[in-house]
Amino acid sequence: MKKTFTLLAIIFNLSNTCALAAQPPSNFVVFGDSLSDIGNNYWVYATGTPITSFDQQGNKSTWVNYLSETILKQPASFSSKPALSPLSQTVSYAYAGADTSDHYLNSDWPENTPIPDINPDCKKPGLMKDAQQEVSAACVPGMLKQIDLYLNDVNHKPNPNTLFFIWAGANDLFYKLPTGQPPEQIIKTAMTNLVQAKNKLLDEGVLPQQIYVLNLPDLSKTPFAIKNNLNLTQISVAFNTNLSAVLTTADQHHPGIPTSHIISMYDLLNDVVLQPDKYHVKNTTESCAENKKAPLCSEYVFYDNKHPTALMHHVISDYISASLKS
């Protein structure tokens, strides 16, 4: 009887997987940080999001916008925008300044706060004001908190045709490495959070095949690291090695996601640096904004010291699109 039940369960899961693969996704839902924030953290650096250059159409967009428009033929929205439906629309819950945690961070208030503190007074994302209506703090939800916000928005009943993307972890390193915390401990905590993110979705009925996770690029190749002589390659590799291991491995209660659903931003950036002509870029090491080549930043990989240009976001979108089709 037990064998029969197990066989039926396998058949059921396979049929669900096939059904998902047989029809296109209805929408995308994205969790993460500034690399995927299309408008939530409007106060960041007093310039707002997205943190990127203008594209040829005069818009500031990220890979989330381009991917949704290319594959689904629909615009993407950000989660703090009213009157949206994450059950059927592409929505980014990502916030610039977010780490992988389930905390609210007082990020970028005051402007350019170097190491954000956990803000226990936060009840929702956004700016907090005092009795005189002056801004007193900011509330940036970490990646796990973003998933909670999404699940509340859909009443804990995700659409079985939604694809989920998670891209987070760089801020865990940028925030905690300067404090002297060992990289191994930072990575371990981030991995715990990322596994919990996967399991939160699975517990609500999301299939492993619906979840995609982007790994970290080689952070040593950012202008920030280059200017400060920071060798972050080994740390980036360690992060990604652990990421692939923990997310694709099943535990007692949860399956892993398919290995092919770990999308390698590490490989992509390395290829861009090695073969810039292939991607129509020339400057792979400097900040476009600091070189005063904004707003279009033609032929630049980096808009500022850490963030990609619109051109690079197009490249990321194309890369993810190819991964979805393979």
Over residues 160-184, the mean pLDDT reads: 96
Give the residue with greater pLDDT, 191 vs 20: 191
On the question of pLDDT at 268 being above 80, the answer is yes
Angle at 63 between CA 256 and CA 29, to 5 degrees: 50
Over residues 264-273, the mean pLDDT reads: 98
Over residues 291-314, the mean pLDDT reads: 96
Residue 207 lies in a domain: yes
Count CA atoms closer than 13 A to 45's CA, side-chain side.
13
Residue 181 lies in a domain: yes
What distance in Å separates the CA atoms of residue 89 and residue 77, rounded to the nearest whole number? 7
Q: What is the mean pLDDT of the chain?
A: 92
Angle at 205 between CA 63 and CA 195, to 5 degrees: 60
Residue 127 lies in a domain: yes
The tally of domains found in the chain comes to 1
Confidence of residue 326 (pLDDT cuts 50, 70, 90): confident
Question: What DSSP designation does 320 have?
Answer: H
Confidence of residue 24 (pLDDT cuts 50, 70, 90): confident
pLDDT recorded at residue 112 = 66
pTM: 0.92
On the question of pLDDT at 22 being above 90, the answer is no
Residue 68 lies in a domain: yes
Residue 255 lies in a domain: yes
Q: What is the pLDDT of residues 271-285, one digit of tens each?
A: 999 999 999 999 999
Residue 131 lies in a domain: yes
Residue 141 lies in a domain: yes
On the question of pLDDT at 151 being above 70, the answer is yes
Which range has the worst mean pLDDT, 3-7, 110-114, 221-225, 319-323? 3-7
Residue 13 lies in a domain: no
What distance in Å separates the CA atoms of residue 303 and residue 286, rounded to the nearest whole number? 8
Expressed as residue numbers, the domain containing 50 is 25-325
Confidence of residue 3 (pLDDT cuts 50, 70, 90): very low
| Closest-CA residue to 210 (of 25, 22, 13) | 25
Q: What is the pLDDT of residues 132-148, one digit of tens each?
A: 999 888 999 999 999 99
CATH of residue 94's domain is 3.40.50.1110
